Amino acid sequence: MTDTKHTHDHHHHADGERPSAMSVELREHLPFSVSAVAIGLIAAGAICILGPATVGGDSTGAGGRDPADLFFHLFHPAHMLFSAAATTAMFCRYDRGLVKAVVVGLVGAVGVCGVSDIVMPHVSLVIMGVPAPWHLCVWEHPGLSLPFAAIGVGVGIAAAGGVVRSTIISHSLHVFASTMASIFYMVGPLGRIEWIDNLGEVFIFVVLAVMIPCCLSDVVFPMFMSRSGRDWYEQEPHAH
């Protein structure tokens, strides 16, 4: 009976009942992303509680800048660098075309980082009923963002020879930078301290903003832009 059941399960598994590649990636990255967001929330909370209400300005603090805005503009370019490096290195594992690698790396960094750091946090604020102006950093401050994306592409191409280690390191840094950028995008409109009152909602929204775009840009997008990558991924849905 046991052998019959095992044979039946084996055939059932072989007939196309395996989980999709995307579901495997999301499931395997979920614990890592949740942990990164939890650590990021603690770090952001400490910065907001212990830091000044404004940075710069006159002796009274008038005219100073919101620290959340400054931290966003530190982590968002860093996110672009790490994202471009991870995306480009993963693509170069399956396709050595230089021009295509540059295009894939830039699109993966600029496009997906914008979704992760800006679009999804902004939509989250709207869902929470918090008014917030759009801030498209790559449009408003191209000199702050694009150089990091370009350097990240170069790093990804140079590091592609040791792709397994390079993609793991760059993906880890990517997730952390994305977490911090998404958090500080939301902190400004919610209030320097007041956002902690909405910690549960912020946690859920940031996990979504980090996990889905990061998996898409670091793993799925570069692999599916290469024919050999698509073929390998369809044959080995559980492999990285």
Residue 10 reports pLDDT greater than 50:
no
Place 126 in a pLDDT band, splitting at 50, 70 and 90: very high
pLDDT digits (tens, 9 = 90+) for 59-82: 555 556 788 888 898 999 998 898
Global pTM value: 0.74
Tracing tokens 């902190």 back to the chain, one arrives at: 187
Provide the residue type at 156 as one letter: G
Question: Does some domain include residue 58?
Answer: no
CB atoms near residue 125 (< 10 Å): 20
Provide the number of structural domains found in the chain.
Answer: 1
pLDDT digits (tens, 9 = 90+) for 143-193: 888 899 999 999 888 877 655 555 556 566 777 888 899 889 988 888 888
> Cα separation of 104 and 145, whole Å?
17
Question: Does some domain include residue 6?
Answer: no
Question: Does some domain include residue 47?
Answer: yes
List, in order, residues 6 or more apart from 3 with CB less than 8 Å away.
none
pLDDT digits (tens, 9 = 90+) for 82-92: 888 888 887 88
Q: Which two tokens stand for residue 178?
A: 């994305």
Phi, psi angles (nearest 5°) of residue 147: -60, -35
State residue 18's pLDDT score. Answer: 52
Q: Which two tokens stand for residue 130?
A: 């918090």
- With beta carbons less than 8 A apart as the criterion, state whether 88 and 153 touch: yes
Say which DSSP state 215 is in.
H
Question: Does some domain include residue 160?
Answer: yes
> Cα separation of 225 and 167, whole Å?
17
- With beta carbons less than 8 A apart as the criterion, state whether 214 and 82 touch: no
144 is in which domain, residue-wise? Answer: 23-52+67-235
Question: Does some domain include residue 190?
Answer: yes
Average pLDDT of the residues in 128-135: 84
Question: Does some domain include residue 226?
Answer: yes
